[in-house]
């Protein structure tokens, strides 16, 4: 017989992403719908260790569906990486009468949740929240769609300046290990080249491409670069290399940075968060544990947490081909 769930704790851990608040709202209201208490755990696993808990009801999550970031705050927890820290967290959950956890975050948060479940047999359900879209088992993570729209909007504005001054702009976007943002935003914004970790364009091919662009009559160009691209040590060294080899180009660098993680979530992210929150709570009620809820072929499905952590989110190779054709 599955354990009867009477009280669920929800936390956001690791980096924030647009849509996390919508997911918190969904978890809280789904709990209320099923007559289950919901406890907000502030500052992620660190708050769990310190007992930083607050009762949450349907009215406590009014007017947060449209807000970026996370009302539950987020913090890295070195202490949670120790057996002593996790034991303290478990004792606090038991003391508060919490029966299960919904963890909203990325693979680091899921790794912590999986370890916690293995040690204490405590029910855990994960909701993927990261703008990088680099988690296996879901086509979209919370915040990814919003980040794409933010990046495209920024590149559109940069292009106005690039066209006015006949300049080449290198625009660096987030994506340390995955090029989903760079590839999709690059295509959407009409970038001339897109550099991502999954496809090593190479310095010489980049120079050839820029030469062809200039020869074809393009007076300005946009190159979108994922921060994890391996073509150069960093975007500023890449700028220096291009200027040294193509002196006819006036090169500028724009690093979009953390603005990509902020802002009101898109409608897509709000709806996705609502769907994932409902599925997470109802899966726990059904006695399921150690899963991540995700979107696959527009259906909300469960992926074992271990698989979500160890699996690799693949780049769309057809999109790579599309980007090559569009840069002609």
Structure tokens at 131: 């703008």
**Residue 43 counted as an annotated binding residue:** no
Regions of the chain where pLDDT drops below 70? 1-2, 201, 217-220, 230, 232-233
**Residue 28 counted as an annotated binding residue:** yes
Annotated active-site residue in 16, 52, 99, 132: 132
**Residue 109 counted as an annotated binding residue:** yes
132 is catalytic: yes
Q: What pLDDT, on the 0 to 100 scale, is given for residue 204?
A: 80
- Please give the helix or strand (H or E) that residue 84 lies within, else none: helix 83-96
Task: Supply the DSSP symbol for 197.
Answer: T
Q: Whole-model pTM?
A: 0.92
**Residue 163 counted as an annotated binding residue:** no
In whole angstroms, what is the distance from residue 293 CA to residue 270 CA?
A: 15
Q: What pLDDT, on the 0 to 100 scale, is given for residue 217?
A: 63
The alpha carbon dihedral of 31, 34, 36, 37 has a sign of positive
Q: At what angle do helices 317-326 and 180-189 cross, to 10 degrees?
A: 30
Count of helices and strands (H, E) across the chain: 11, 11
Q: What pLDDT, on the 0 to 100 scale, is given for residue 1?
A: 46
């Amino acid at each position: 017989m599955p354990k009867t769930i009477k009280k669920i704790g929800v936390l956001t851990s690791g980096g924030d992403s647009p849509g996390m608040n919508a997911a918190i709202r969904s978890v809280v209201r789904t709990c209320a719908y099923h007559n289950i208490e919901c406890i907000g755990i502030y500052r992620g696993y660190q708050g769990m260790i310190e007992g930083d808990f607050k009762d949450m009801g349907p009215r406590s999550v009014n007017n947060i569906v449209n807000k970026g970031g996370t009302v539950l705050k987020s913090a890295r927890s070195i202490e949670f990486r120790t057996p002593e820290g996790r034991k303290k967290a478990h004792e606090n959950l038991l003391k508060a009468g919490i029966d299960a956890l919904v963890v909203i975050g990325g693979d680091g948060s899921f790794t912590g949740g999986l370890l916690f479940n293995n040690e204490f047999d405590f029910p855990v359900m994960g909701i993927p929240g990261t703008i990088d879209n680099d988690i296996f088992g879901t086509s979209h993570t919370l915040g990814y769609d919003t980040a794409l729209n933010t990046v495209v909007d920024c590149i559109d504005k940069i292009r106005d300046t690039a066209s006015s001054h006949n300049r080449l702009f290198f625009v660096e976007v987030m994506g340390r290990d995955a090029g989903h943002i760079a590839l999709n935003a690059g295509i959407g914004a009409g970038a001339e080249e897109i550099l991502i970790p999954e496809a090593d364009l190479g310095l010489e091919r980049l120079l050839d491409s820029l030469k062809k662009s200039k020869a074809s009559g393009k007076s300005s160009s946009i190159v979108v670069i994922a921060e994890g691209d391996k073509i150069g040590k960093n975007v500023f060294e890449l700028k220096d290399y291009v200027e040294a080899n193509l002196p006819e180009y006036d090169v500028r660098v724009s690093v979009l940075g953390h603005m990509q993680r902020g802002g009101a979530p898109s409608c897509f992210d709000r709806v996705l968060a609502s769907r994932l929150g409902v599925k997470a709570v109802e899966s726990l009620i059904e006695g399921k544990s150690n899963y991540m809820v995700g979107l696959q072929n527009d259906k909300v499905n469960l992926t074992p947490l271990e698989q979500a952590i160890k699996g690799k989110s693949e780049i769309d190779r057809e999109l790579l081909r599309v980007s090559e054709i569009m840069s002609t």
